[in-house]
Structure 1
Amino acid sequence: MHTTALRLQWRHRFGVVHCRSYPAMQVGYFLRRLTGVKTIFDMRGLWVDDRVEGQLWPQELWLYRRLYRHYKRLEQRLLEGTDAVVVLTERVVPELRRLAPRMQAPVTVIPCCADFDHFSAVTTAHKRTTRAEIGIHKDALVIAYLGSLGTVYLLDEMFRLFETIARRREDAHLLLITQDWSDRHEARLAASSLTDLRHRIHVRSAHRDEVPRVLGTADIMLSFRRATYSQMACSPTKLAEAFALGIPAISNAGVGDIDALTRILDAGMVIDLHDPAAFERVAANLDSLLAKGGGRLRHRAQKHLGLERARHAYRRLYAQLEAMP
């Protein structure tokens, strides 16, 4: 990859090389040192720690401990050897300055944004039709989850919250929009206290073109992730997509900028999963949560999480780098 990138650089004389994540930035760092080309380190997250926390680099093994130390040193060099850094959250910016004390590059925060044209408001008629296709009553309370079911996502906690709500409200349904559902997840559900509520739990797979229609059946979105060290750099796209549809969210505290963003946009509730009374409070305050949704939420969110924000931010960054000597 380094040889190909160097060949392309000599041929086209790029002014700026935009590197998404750490492996690409290793090539950018090589080009910058060799040719002087300006680079953008678009981090996307704390990649090294993501791999450790996700058990891709298990630290009980000597090889992966060594790999972790090597890449943490490399992380510092990459941050201190670039012309601009892009991250997804405000919360991670002070941490980058701690990790790379000699970093001179400006840091731009661009969260994961949604295409508000694609995720446009769903009409009542379409909502009822899709609910009927899924097997949900038109007047039910629908709580949805969208996306992967990997180890970073807290499926059991989402089940527990749904159970708390469902025991209070007979019209509550849980809609899981995912391509990851398997026999293993079904067995996990069968072994839980939710067996008598299984008929109110619906699993649907949806391609990108179908997601707005299926997610648009929901009244509330769930987003529970492990609040680990690396998650300070996380910006879940699914929240931007839900807000674009006017759907408020229940999220757990300590993940990226979700706490602040939820407060600024008045976009739902953020709860402490360590608080044993948190789920009961959510169940008792559903009406006020539902009132936060709709067109006003979509309008507020578009300024912060619409694609235009990302486009303008990247254009400004490119212009700044091109103006540099």
Structure 2
Amino acid sequence: MLKTLYITYDGLLDPLGQTQILPYLEGLAVQHGHRFVILSFEKAERWADVARRQTIIERLQRHNVVWLPLRYHQRPTLPATLYDLMLGLWTAIIAVQRYQIQALHIRSTVPLTLGLLLKRWFKLPLLFDLRGFWADERADLGMPRTGLLYRLLKKLEQTGLNQAEQIVSLTKQSLRYLAEHSHNPQIAEKTTVIPCAANLQRWQRDEQARTRIRHELGWQTKQIVVYSGSLGGGYRSADLAECFATWLQSEPNLRWLVLSNQDPQPLIKALQHLNVPAESYTIRSVASNDVAQWLSSADVAISLITPSYAKIASSPTKFGEYLACGLPIFSNAGIGDSEELFAQGVAIKIADFSVAAYQIAWQRYQALRQQPDLAQRCRAFAEREFDLASAIERYAACYRELER
């Protein structure tokens, strides 16, 4: 069993840290006996939440995990990141020696610099958890692809892919891309696909909650579309609003349930601009432990994300959560392995962001929803592709390769 230094530029106090970092490491510790030292970069506002911090500390202590939290600095962007990396490298060097580290697990591209240096200096095997094409995600947000920083980040990414003993990618699409475009054939051979998983014991359809919430909303006999997650930016709130407005014109009894902890005003303004009646939608801020119950009240889910080259390596967490609750998904193409969802009949493709495309997708859904086993097939797909237990076993297989 390995004593592993896990380095992440995301914080354990972030929602992502609690859903897409800790559950995997806890499973590897409990089920496979691996031991971890976690080096993370925590945001000041989350660190100030003493109750949440104490909960994480107690959670880690139960599994004998050592936590080395450092302060995350955001601005000015490049100097702040370089400062974080220098402090992180110093902390990591001490950790490797003090805790007799045997392997490195590096999450995403930014801390990869630390991983490659530690690998060289201490002769440690490295698992590069790719998570996505990070440099291209930044380019989607405005970083010039012709600039020096982009080229350096892509060089860093390629170096990590070449030198890592094991690689984890979120999607089959990104693995195909690596296999086709990499000059190193071993990259595909040492890559395991592990999409963003969900604890399916927690994420499942709750019929009692479905009845209760629909009664609470006064929507007992309505068709309900649900959206869960972030608003704005690449999540295309204005298009979500237009899509719902389009469907509402042909389905007056349709209702939209939005679950988000972000500012709802831009979405509300978009709906008002489209003359969508206020009684036809509701936007709720729901505790994370209650989201599955609210999803259970719906009939179908929706996700619209701006497609790009980087998004072929993206695995939206909401896909697994929706499907685990028995919900088929409206989604645009070009997002991770969405084509597989369309082919398996658990998702409906929205061809583009136009009224005509929304209408066609709704018509296709009307045929799909007549299938009596639809909810069961969605759940079965989630169990096959997005189950946390299966994801832990795939990580365990990667760790066995590191031990060789």
Q: Same fold (TM over 0.5)?
A: yes
1:1-325 alignment, distance < 5 Å = 1-55=88-142, 57=143, 59=144, 65-97=147-179, 100-102=182-184, 104-105=186-187, 106-123=190-207, 125-133=208-216, 135-190=217-272, 192-193=273-274, 195-264=275-344, 266-273=345-352, 277-290=356-369, 291=371, 293-323=374-404
The alpha-carbon deviation at position 95 of structure 1 amounts to 2.9
- Corresponding residue of 2:3: none
Query: Which residue identity does 2:223 align to in structure 1?
Result: L
SS of the equivalent of 2:111 reads helix
Distance (Å, rounded) in 1 between the aligned partners of 2:276 and 2:385: 41
CA contact (8 A) 1:176 1:203 kept: yes
The alpha-carbon deviation at position 97 of structure 1 amounts to 4.7
CA contact (8 A) 1:54 1:152 kept: no
Question: Structure 1 residues 284, 99: CA separation in 2 closer, same or farther (over 3 Å shift)?
Answer: closer
CA contact (8 A) 1:181 1:203 kept: no
CA contact (8 A) 2:346 2:377 kept: no
Distance (Å, rounded) in 2 between the aligned partners of 1:129 and 1:274: 34
CA contact (8 A) 2:242 2:271 kept: no
Deviations 1:161-204 (A, max 9, x none): 212221111210111111113333333332x22x2433202101
CA contact (8 A) 2:174 2:312 kept: yes
Query: Which residue identity does 1:121 align to in structure 2?
Result: R
SS of the equivalent of 2:244 reads helix
The alpha-carbon deviation at position 82 of structure 1 amounts to 1.3
Q: Root-mean-square deviation (CA), in Å? A: 2.1
Question: Structure 1 residues 274, 160: CA separation in 2 closer, same or farther (over 3 Å shift)?
Answer: closer
Distance (Å, rounded) in 2 between the aligned partners of 1:150 and 1:225: 10
Question: Structure 1 residues 39, 24: CA separation in 2 closer, same or farther (over 3 Å shift)?
Answer: same
The alpha-carbon deviation at position 99 of structure 1 amounts to 6.1
SS of the equivalent of 1:235 reads coil
Q: Which runs of 5+ in 1 are unaligned?
A: none
Distance (Å, rounded) in 1 between the aligned partners of 2:174 and 2:388: 21
SS of the equivalent of 2:306 reads coil
Distance (Å, rounded) in 1 between the aligned partners of 2:244 and 2:353: 17
Distance (Å, rounded) in 2 between the aligned partners of 1:5 and 1:121: 43
Identity of aligned residues (%): 27
Deviations 1:264-316 (A, max 9, x none): 3x212122116763222223233323236323321232022111210110111
Give the TM-score of the pair, scaled to structure 1: 0.89
Distance (Å, rounded) in 2 between the aligned partners of 1:267 and 1:188: 29
CA contact (8 A) 2:326 2:377 kept: yes
Distance (Å, rounded) in 2 between the aligned partners of 1:53 and 1:300: 30
CA contact (8 A) 2:264 2:283 kept: no
CA contact (8 A) 1:248 1:289 kept: no
Select the structure with the greater relative contact order (CA < 8 A; seq sep ≥ 6).
1
Distance (Å, rounded) in 2 between the aligned partners of 1:188 and 1:12: 53
Distance (Å, rounded) in 2 between the aligned partners of 1:129 and 1:275: 35
Q: Which runs of 5+ in 2 are unaligned?
A: 1-87
SS of the equivalent of 2:126 reads strand
CA contact (8 A) 1:164 1:283 kept: no
SS of the equivalent of 2:231 reads coil
Deviates more, 1:202-211 or 1:104-113: 104-113
Distance (Å, rounded) in 1 between the aligned partners of 2:322 and 2:117: 40
CA contact (8 A) 2:349 2:361 kept: no
Query: Which residue identity does 2:92 align to in structure 1?
Result: A
